[in-house]
Amino acid sequence: MTAAVFLTFSLSLFLDLFFRSHGILSVFTPFCIFYYAVVLNWKTALVLAIASAIPAIVFAGSAWPFDLLTYPAVIGLSLWNRRKTGPADPSLRRHLLCGALIPILIFGPKALTLSFDTFLAFLAWLPPHCVLSAVLLPFVLYLLDLFAEKLGLPLYSETIRKRENPPL
């Protein structure tokens, strides 16, 4: 389990580093936090969020450690999604919403430090990234589940289903 978590976080950090170095607001690491907050528990996810926020801050050279606050905030979003998802409410729509919210959650606080002109440019730049993130989140969750299934680890889809149909 530890190896799988380490591998997925390493890969997601690598992808974030690669895409962000090309100007794309990628949020693969927050996707992993979103996934593990449901599959594991919020305390483990919090440790993972803080551990992955540190390299993110160091790579970006951020003046302030916003990621130490925003990465754990993804756990809240994930748990909210899990709580709200029920048998009568199709979860895909809510996952799309969560996917769209994640870039705002991660990059929004940082954008407050920008000048007004740059902030306006950022606002214009954000919607395509939100759409991309909304589409990518379910896909990444599916891929992580496929990987977990191969290793016989707990699955996100099963954990959510348990919530949808709680055992009597």
Binding residues vs other proteins (CB under 8 A): 10, 13-14, 17-18, 20-25, 54-55, 57-65, 68, 107, 110-111, 113-115, 117-118, 122
Tell the smallest beta-carbon distance from residue 69 to other proteins (Å): 9
Closer to other proteins by CB, 50 or 160: give it.
50
Tell the smallest beta-carbon distance from residue 113 to other proteins (Å): 7
Buried-exposed string 90-128: b where 16+ CB fall within 10 A, e elsewhere: ebeebbbebbbbbbbbbbeebbeeeeeeeeeebeeebee
Tell the smallest beta-carbon distance from residue 116 to other proteins (Å): 9
Closer to other proteins by CB, 104 or 111: give it.
111
Closer to other proteins by CB, 111 or 160: give it.
111
Closer to other proteins by CB, 126 or 144: give it.
126
114, 122 contact by CB (below 8 A) = yes
Closest CA to 6 of 48, 56, 45, 42: 48
CA–CA gap between residue 38 and residue 31 (Å, rounded): 11
